[in-house]
Structure 1
């Protein structure tokens, strides 16, 4: 079978210089991520690794450009890797791979998305758990499509849990699909294929979504929590809402758009939210609850924009979220 990544200008193999950091020792209790990550090319056969963790960069922000956002998220994967490199590695950590970057030269977003969907399916089929490092949130639709193709069972429901200031339910305009259309695209495809659209959005901003978008969410049966309601006083309600949504679905796709956080914590995003949610106990507990369900097939983190980051806060926050998620995965 022809390898889609060989001699493909939309794919960069992983590089050793992406991973470097402090070395405290070589014992299992001294290790950091950069000492243990295995560089693996998609140009080669993907190793069959039950429960392996596969990092894949989406070095693209063409969808952000089309959505009239601040460009720069294409550099996000590189900066998230830098922030991950020096993090301590838990001895229970699963085998960790870096599969490089899928990128978008010459604005060919739709072709890039097809390649990304294929990669997600292939990584899942090899037993790995894909974690996508974005890049713009135009990764959402191909990410879901790759999961859906892997599941390949119309009787199994795939629920989407998205931490985001935006619904991303825009209809494509004259520029085509964008970072704001991903979940609308999924809803339309599922409708045509007579599949349910199960979507839970957490951290939605009234200041970032028009009444029209709220109406679309209502029409599509989207469940959501506004950012103003995402706090400790509502913690019990949040837990109950998550438990209900998790129980209704056979599998889950977890998406985290970094613009869901208050700009003090995540200044380096395509669209900042001064009043976004906090990366505190409530958020961390929700992520742990979702991952602990054992239903999550893949995680995507989007919209880290190094051009506007301050002290690498956004990249470091993204890295700490992934550290928590991978530790939870490794212990269930």
Structure 2
């Protein structure tokens, strides 16, 4: 059961933008998105029903000694999605936010898992807006509740492996994949990490990734000379799994494109190349069942540059479904 302390329903006032008209071909997202309450969720009908749900938490970032502010991102990203034009065949819903109440991140992750499981079982495709990258464990746990016997693969765009063990403060934004391994007991993790930076991960983390048979692609490999290699590696990973969960930590991108994140990087991925070399191929498999975007931090953004990129990624991915 969803604990009301950890959940707030959709705020329709978040969605607003210009109005061009009311004909079907003039509508923008703020005119057509429908609020739903995760506690009283109606059964969805139709194949492409997308449910936004925020994870308004940066407790994991705080514990990880990162820059606080990502908890504000779900509202900001929604606002910047408001003016996007409707996508034919897609119906949009806003299922509100899961919160981190009383600094209890562990319970917030469990509440998020319940919400994701409920959305999937009621016929929605979850699209989660973080919050910190502690979103990963709750999101994946919810998917596995819905698909316990399926081989679920995770493609993570991130500068970091997030395979660290918790410290004295508990789990944090860098422990999500370690938590998945611990809960499942599976020492062969179906996880492809894209954008990994040598400057952002210790030797121990690389050793842990290798022990778990994690596939990864370095940020320095993202160039046109490596296009065939990247596409083949992504294809090989996708071929071996039944369902795909995509998580995008915005710190995978260079700070030229994403300055407003919890841990900015002067070097990193470029949005167009990510789209052309990876996302098109991943979505073409027809295996994507759930998506999240994490680590947008409005406190440190410049002209909403990072939030706008997150909104554009949302739009482009939904066009690929």
Coarse TM-score class (shorter-chain normalised): over 0.9
**Selected match of 1:165 from 159, 162, 167:** 159
1:14 correspondence with 2:10: yes
**Selected match of 2:38 from 29, 36, 42:** 42
Q: Give the C-alpha shift of residue 88 in structure 1.
A: 1.4
Give the number of aligned pairs. Answer: 320
1:141 correspondence with 2:137: yes
1:54 correspondence with 2:51: yes
In structure 1, distance between residues paired with 2:83 and 2:276: 21
Match of 1:69 in 2: 66
**Selected match of 1:276 from 260, 268, 282:** 268
Match of 1:258 in 2: 250
**Selected match of 1:212 from 204, 207, 223:** 204
- Between 307-316 and 26-35, the greater mean CA deviation after superposition: 26-35
- Between 231-240 and 176-185, the greater mean CA deviation after superposition: 231-240
**Selected match of 1:190 from 178, 184, 201:** 184
Match of 1:314 in 2: 306
Partner SS, residue 270 of structure 2: coil
- Between 270-279 and 281-290, the greater mean CA deviation after superposition: 281-290
1:103 correspondence with 2:99: yes
Q: Give the C-alpha shift of residue 231 in structure 1.
A: 1.7
In structure 2, distance between residues paired with 1:170 and 1:57: 24
1:32 correspondence with 2:28: yes
Q: Which runs of 5 or more residues in structure 1 are unaligned? A: none
1:294 correspondence with 2:265: no
In structure 1, distance between residues paired with 2:224 and 2:265: 19
Structure 1 vs Structure 2 CA RMSD? 1.3
Match of 1:122 in 2: 118
Is the 1:231–1:282 contact (alpha carbons within 8 Å) kept by the matching residues of 2?
no
Q: What is the CA deviation profile of residues 153-195 of structure 1, one whole-angstrom value per residue up to 9, with x for unaligned ones?
A: 1xx311110000000000011011100000111122222xx57
In structure 1, distance between residues paired with 2:10 and 2:232: 41
In structure 2, distance between residues paired with 1:260 and 1:142: 21
